[in-house]
Amino acid sequence: MKGRHYMHRFGLAAIALVALVAAVFVGGGSASTSASPKKGGQVVFGAEQEPPCLNGFLSGCNNTWTSWTVGTQYRGLYIQKPDFSFVPDLAQSAKIVKAKPMTIAVKIKKQAVWSDGVPVTYQDFKYVWQQEINPKNDVASRSGYDSIKTITPTSKDGKSFNVIFAKPFAPWKALSTGSPTSTTSG
């Protein structure tokens, strides 16, 4: 009986040793490197819940998963970096040109277009503002949007416009860090 028990333990130890040696030799290859990452494709990840909808501006849809799911697709005048600085995205330029009333002069990049090729213009930003301040819409927040008095074009092509605030709003760049209705390119 002792002999069989010893042989059984010896057999298990031998199998474990062979498996360990095989793992070392199989997993010991060098990492594959390619000249450039593959573009396109899809990313699949799991979540414990689905977003209730894909419009994060609405109060019932303004949650983490909506932000993580849709936020990667929205473009705006700026991109906010991890250090909270802003870099231009669709904006060619945007700057305060008047203190009273606070006025921002915006120029959208000529190549900024929606996914269907239609140019991004002041009308897209004006539409967002109008939807945000409309009391019939159950939005997550009107903060900042409710400080805007008007948005008016300053060029025939609509790529330049002024945002005039009724009262100053210091984090004005944060209002335009993502587009609300579609994915853009350019």
Which position has the higher pLDDT, 168 or 176? 168
Residues 67-88: tens digit of each pLDDT:
777 777 778 898 888 888 888 8
> Phi and psi of 158, rounded to 5°?
75, 5
The pLDDT of 30-47, averaged and rounded, is 75
Cα–Cα distances (Å) from 13 to 6, 8, 161, in that order, read 11, 9, 76
Residue 158 near residue 146 (C-beta atoms within 8 A): no
Gap between the Cα atoms of 11 and 75, Å rounded: 62
pLDDT band at 117 (very low <50, low <70, confident <90, very high): very high
Which position has the higher pLDDT, 185 or 178? 178
At residue 186, the pLDDT reads 35
**Nearby residues of 171 by Cβ (< 8 Å), 6 or more positions away:** 144
Residues 10-37: tens digit of each pLDDT:
566 666 655 655 665 655 556 666 678 7
What domains are there in the chain, each with its CATH number?
59-178 (3.90.76.10)
CA dihedral 40, 69, 140, 102 (to 10 degrees): -30
- pTM summary value: 0.67
Least confident of 2-11, 113-122, 147-156: 2-11
At residue 74, the pLDDT reads 74
